[in-house]
Structures are given as C-alpha cells and as structure tokens.
Chains A and B, each alone.
Chain A
Amino acid sequence: MKELVDALFRNVPTGVGAHRRDLRLSAPELRKILMEGARAAVSSGRGEAADLDHIEEGGTIPGADPDLVSERAVERGRPQLGTLGSGNHFLEVDRVDEIFHEEAARAFGLAMGQVAFVIHTGSRGLGYQVCDDFLQGMLRAAAKYGIDLPDRQLCCAPIRSEEGKRYLAAMAAAANFAFANRQVIAHYLRETLAKDLGIPPREHRVSTVYDVCHNIAKMESHEVDGRQRRLCVHRKGATRAFPPGHPQTPSAYRAVGQPVLIPGDMGRYSYVLAGTAKAYRETWGSSCHGAGRRLSRAEAKRTSRGRPIVRELEDRGIIVRSAGMATLLEEVPEAYKDVSEVVEVVERAGISRKVARLVPMGVIKG
C-alpha cells in the first residue's frame, strides 16, 4: 500500500507547487477541453472512451463558450489540468468493507474487499476565477432587472437574459474543465498501476463507476404539479441522484439508479449510494454530497495545531501523503460531520439508497 500511495503521490500532482512537465496545454488544446470536457481528455490519449458512459452528461456539458472564460481564468487553469488542488480535494485508495444492496453493487461492479479509488477535485483555479469574474456583473444585472435581494451574495440574473446566458456558458466551460481534470487524474492512476507497480490493464481492470457533478446549475425537465417544466436546478455541494429507469441513468445502471458518490473525511468512510424515484419527485433528483463541515477551516486548524495527524492516521492503518501540513490540519476527521449519519438521513428520507461503504487505506491531499 505504501508503495502505491507513494507512487500516486509522485504521479498525480497536487498542483500545490507540483506539476507534471509532460502535460503542457496549448491554447487550442485548452479550448477543446473547455468545449468538450472529458471527451477531449480521452481524444488526447488521457482517459478511456468506455468511461464516458459513466460520467454525468457523458463528460460534456453542452453550451460551453470558451470565449467567456477570462484570460486570467485560462492562465490559472492551463498548468492545473490533471492536478488535485488543496482544501477538501483528494485521491483516495479505499477498500469496499460493506455491501448494503447486492443488485446495485453488482451493477456498479463493486464487491466486498475490492480496492476502489475515489477522485475528489473540480475545476481548480479556472472555475474559481470564472465565479469571481461574474459576481460583479451579476450584482449589476440584479439591479438592472429589478431583482430585490435579501443578501448581495445571492446576486443573479434571469436565466433568459444575456447576463444569465453568459454565466451559464462560462460555467459549462469550467465544469468541462473539471470533467477533463478528473479524467486525466484517472489516467495517471491507471498509468501508475501499470508502470510503477507493473500491473497491466487486463489485470488491474480499473474502470469508472461514476463521475458526478456537485457544484452546478443544470437545465432539466421535471414534473411540477402534474406537468413537465424546464427548470434550472442549482446543486451546490449536492449531487444529482437520478432514479432507476431515467434515460440519463447509464444503461448499465438503469435497473438500480444512478450511482451517488459520497466522500467522507479522510479517517472514516466514503459511501456509494443510488438515486431513487422519491428523490426525483422530492428533490429534483438530488442528494447530499459529503460529510459537511462541522468546524470552519480556521477553527479546525486552531484546535488541531501540533497534532501528528499523519502518524495518528497511520496508527489506524491509513497512509497519508500531503503537499502541506496546513491542509491536513484543516481536514482532520473531526472537522467534519460523521458521514455515516448524513447518509443515514438521506436513506431514511428515501432520497438515496445505500449500496456500499468504503474505508480509506491511502489518502493523497493537496
């Protein structure tokens, strides 16, 4: 395990002072990624075409316009493709330690004792910059269209307005960058298994269970009071959880529902759930995303200062590699709610079904 985690830490850059020299994106290459997302990563030889069926929207949010992504956002994003980033982002090596729903687990390709990898990262500095770039304009738009706001941070524009359309097109480009980013990291992971550990693809057989957005606004059709309406569903730190039988639930999972991935903190568990018909009716097909913070980053840092986090986790059988100590202090398990309790609530409420529980064996943090 140590060998695997060290090799992954070498090969999957955190992006916090570590980059790979063999991936330098030209301007046209980045443009293609902003337009096509994971598909562009696959066509550049970094990723597997078979994975695309198991990514939300096939790994490409339509309607992206790279021209609306600022120069500054592009500059930030260009060296960051295939990097994890800091904060709550990570790459984990897990073991499946409990199966709750046999049929769904089989459909997802999950079995007891199996090794699973969890990639949790997004659009990095590029997406951050896109959000930042649009906030001022959205405040002006809210005033222009006479939208009264209880909080300036809710600044917004009508979906059909020029300002609204521009934000959605830039957001789609950033989401596509995020899909590509995770696809490239999955590629580095397979490469590590093959080259560093000498396990060829026919033996490691790593395939994507699912890749799902969790900070996005999506155009979707839902039934409201007995009729279909087009809605713009905002999910912020929330995951799509489409039911069995939905056309956007991948065909391999059509009978059991879309996989919902719930990463926990680095010391406890992560979960794989499945979307339900009740979620589709009650929450626009949405579920939770993770454990949720209990302590702010500053509080976590203050209360855990001086603690030997790496050794503490190693004593529990979890190998941790991190670019910096600060991130680990912010990310101590106690900074989060217990993910099991969060998952219990969505299951009892019927908006997701538990499929499998994963325990961490190795964690790479930015």
Chain B
Amino acid sequence: MEKPTVGFERIDECRWRIPRSAPMRVDGVIYASDSMMQAIRTDQSPQQVANVACLPGIVGASLAMPDMHWGYGFPIGGVAAFDVEEGVVSPGGVGYDIN
C-alpha cells in the first residue's frame, strides 16, 4: 500500500487535522501548540499518524498527543481505537516497553 499524503488543517487553538486522503480510513488529529507544531511538521511522526489511520476497523480518528515523536510503526504519543469485531491489534501500537 502507498503511504498516505500528509496535510495539515487547523481545527482550533490546540488541535490540527490531517484530513483523510486515500488510503486513510479516518482523519488524523494532533494535539499541539503553534510552536510545537513547527517542530512536528519537520518530523516523521505525522506520517505515522496518517499511516495508522489506514488500518482496518479504526474508529474516530488516529490521535496524537503533544509529546508525540517517532516510534516503531505508531508514533509515541499515539492513541488509536479499533472496533473489536472489525479491527486489528498491533504490537507497534503498544511498543517495546509494554506496561
């Protein structure tokens, strides 16, 4: 699968949307201030937020908290919910330091 394209739209003071584009199933939403967003834009982690949005059964949006940074597969600071019947579980969504 091709990686989705990442664009940013401001939602409000603290939230930014990565609008859904194929093959994303839902939007990405990042919680960040203006100054944090400057650094985040240059990082690979928004691409990871968009990638997670492509997974089957994802509900709502692929979310990222303001402490987000690059992680294995899913960004660190990432939150994603999957429907129990149609969704998936991914070790990369938990990471190596399970706890």
Interface residues of A (CB under 8 A from B): 121-123, 127-128, 130-132, 134-135, 138, 147-151, 153-160, 164, 167-168, 171, 174-175, 178-179, 213-217, 219-220, 222, 224, 229-238, 283-284, 286-294, 337, 341-342, 344-346, 348-349, 351
Contact = CB atoms under 8 A, between A and B. Distances in A.
Contacts of B54: 148-150, 154
Given A283-B31, A288-B77, A292-B67, 5 more contacts: A154-B52, A222-B81, A293-B76, A344-B33, A345-B66
Interface in B37-89: 39, 48, 51-52, 54-57, 59-60, 63, 65-69, 71-89
A167 B89 contact: yes
B83 A154 contact: no
Nearest to A231: B81
A175 B35 CA distance: 35
A344 B65 CA distance: 12
Interface of B: 1-4, 13-15, 23, 31-33, 35-36, 39, 48, 51-52, 54-57, 59-60, 63, 65-69, 71-99
A232 B97 contact: no
Contact of A233 (B52, B71, B81): B81
A132 B84 CA distance: 24
Nearest to B65: A288
Contact of A217 (B56, B86, B93): B93
A341 B93 CA distance: 25
A344 B67 CA distance: 11
Interface of chain A: mostly helix, strand, loop or mixed: mixed
B89 A349 contact: no
B69 A234 contact: no
Contacts of B83: 229-231
A340 to B, nearest CB: 11
A304 B72 CA distance: 25
Contact of A123 (B69, B90, B99): B99
A151 B67 contact: no
Contacts of B75: 236-237
A182 to B, nearest CB: 8
Contacts of A342: 36, 65-67
A234 to B, nearest CB: 3
B51 A127 contact: no
A351 B31 contact: yes
B52 to A, nearest CB: 7
B80 to A, nearest CB: 5
A154 B48 CA distance: 9
